[in-house]
Chain A
Amino acid sequence: MSTKRAGEFLTGVDLRQEKVRNRVFHGLLVAASLFGLVMLVLLIADVIWESSQALITYDIDLWNFFTGTSSSRAPQAGFGASIIASFWLMALTAGLAFVIAVGCALYLVEYAPANRTTRLIEANLANLAGVPSIVYGLLVLALIVNDVGLGSVILAGAIALALLVMPIIIVASIESIRAVPSSVRDGAYAMGSTKWQTIRRVVLPQAMPGILTGTILALARAIGETAPLIMVGTMLHATRYPSGPFASFSAMPTQIYSWTYQADRMFNGLAALGIVVLLVFLTGMYVVAGYLRKRYETDGGSITNV
């Protein structure tokens, strides 16, 4: 039984320096964390400021902006053709990438044996995800635009973007397919389903929301990609509405890029407006993806194995 009083017991342990260090450290961490926030605020404020200034200073006709084509004369330049070009790109990219990506994911999760080939495919996936987007542009430029002779058309751009986003969709799909619990699969197999029957009727439907979410996020990445499209070859000004996959084009990000580098300051203002439009589309896509994710996460998706 100690006769020391509590106060005596705790003296001799000088925590002051520790406390100071802790506080300084904490402060540094907070400052660092705020850096990102500050930059984001500045960026958004800048975009809003520039675009609103442009609207005011140049008295831009919004109707023409949204529906008109671009032109070398700033007051007549519009963003409509670029918006449509981006839609075309997204549609083609999704079409090209989706089936192959989901197919690859299904193979890896459901069919692939544990052998070298499978490991090769998986290692390669990690590799593909790290390839700079501009390299895909180079690939398509040499192979599709020139060798095959397709030219600088939307389809070529879509191929480049599809290659770029495929790893994203594959990874999201693999995760979603894996998440389907084995109890549900067992139930299907026990009823005498073949593997494909089980996949088609039970696994895929349950994994689909996750797959779609991943696809939308992949498209959100694709819609803002500029470099691969520049390599494929875009028009300086989107002076025509694209007629189809074999039309030349300038999509939203590339048009923004051209406009930013025009001497006429009004074009710089249009660029700011274009960015606002691009960001609005992006936000929309993220909202849809977020909604899908939330809805299907809490929707009695699976029963845990007791």
Chain B
Amino acid sequence: MSNHPSRERSAAESSDNKLIQTEVHADADSDQTNSSAKTVVRAEGLSVYYDDDRALNDVTIEIPEHRVTAMIGPSGCGKSTFLRSINRMNDRIPAASVEGELYFHGKNVYDDDVDPVALRRKIGQVFQAPNPFPKSIYDNVAYGLRVQGQADEVDLDSAVERALRGAALWDEVKDQLDESGLDLSGGQQQRLCIARAIATDPEVVLMDEPTSALDPVAASKIEDLIAELAEEYTVIIVTHNMQQAARISDRTAVFLTGGKLVEFDDTATVFEDPADDRVEDYITGKFG
């Protein structure tokens, strides 16, 4: 599928009232098509139960490297559960049990010889409500490096600066690195959490509704950031803001009630011409 500006116009001009008017993300590098990206995370028949409730139903999906993959769907349909399965944060919930496989770089993360702590050092997570540590901005960003024992090997100062720049926060806080992370505004705190997550150079960054607790201005700053992040990392973002998914993601996965993955395709396709009727209904707001 080639990309050209006319695609955007065609969406806007579409007289199809069923589809929402949205700006679809256009990949500027037309050579790197979505379908040729390598897979970094792959789920195979993944189901997650909380006691007897099935939160995730037999999900099979391949998530491409260096792309932004969005997960959308109504509340309670397993998007966050799927996210947490990737870095095994579900392990922290006693009632949770997992069936199926989830591969990270070809290795099933639920194998017995996998250390969840090691796994999480390769995967960063940003939460819905910003949760910086009650420490200084510097210590927040340096936390991962210190905990992973790299504090002696790297130049902490430059690593911190790099991370803060990568999170588009450096200019705002460079003179107040010693101040508490909690003194920042909500949007800044979230960017601090992003900086903290990327400071250890993970491969994948998981984002669980990262902007839903923020005001629109702060949210849009972070959206801009996400597109940049994909150049270095793989971003998997859960959002129930469909326009956001349409704006920033390359591929979109649609989950519907019962934890079923109903559609997974290039974002443009999902929003303009989805294969599944239910997806079309969801996107046009018939439910959700």
Contacts and interface: CB of A to CB of B under 8 A. Distances in A.
Interface of A: 183-184, 186-194, 197, 201-202, 205-206, 300-306
Interface-centre pick from B119, B120, B134, B200 (highest chain A CB count, 10 A) = B134
A300 B134 contact: yes
Interface in B143-195: 143-144, 146-148, 180, 182-183, 189, 193
The residue in A183, A302, A303 that gathers the most chain B C-beta atoms within 10 A of its C-beta is A303
B131 A205 contact: no
Interface string B128-142: 111111110000000
Given A186-B92, A302-B134, 11 more contacts: A183-B129, A187-B196, A189-B92, A191-B196, A192-B122, A192-B148, A194-B117, A300-B180, A301-B134, A303-B189, A306-B129
A191 B89 contact: no
Contact of B127 (A183, A202, A301): A183
20 contacts: A186-B89, A187-B133, A188-B147, A189-B89, A190-B125, A191-B121, A191-B143, A191-B144, A191-B147, A192-B118, A192-B121, A192-B144, A197-B147, A201-B133, A202-B133, A205-B134, A205-B135, A303-B132, A303-B189, A306-B129
Contacts of B128: 306
A304 B119 CA distance: 27
Interface in B205-241: 212-213
A118 B89 CA distance: 25
B285 to A, nearest CB: 24
Nearest to B125: A190
B124 A190 contact: yes
Contacts of B130: 303
A92 B122 CA distance: 46
A191 B120 contact: yes
Interface residues of B, number: 35
B129 to A, nearest CB: 4
B88 to A, nearest CB: 10
B117 A303 contact: no
A289 B207 CA distance: 41
A240 to B, nearest CB: 48
Contact of B87 (A190, A206, A300): A190
A192 B119 contact: yes
A192 B196 CA distance: 12
Given A186-B131, A201-B143, A300-B134, A192 B120 contact: yes
Which of A186, A190, A202, A306 has the most chain B CB atoms closer than 10 A to its own CB? A190
A273 B182 CA distance: 48
Nearest to A114: B94
A184 B131 CA distance: 6
A50 B129 CA distance: 60
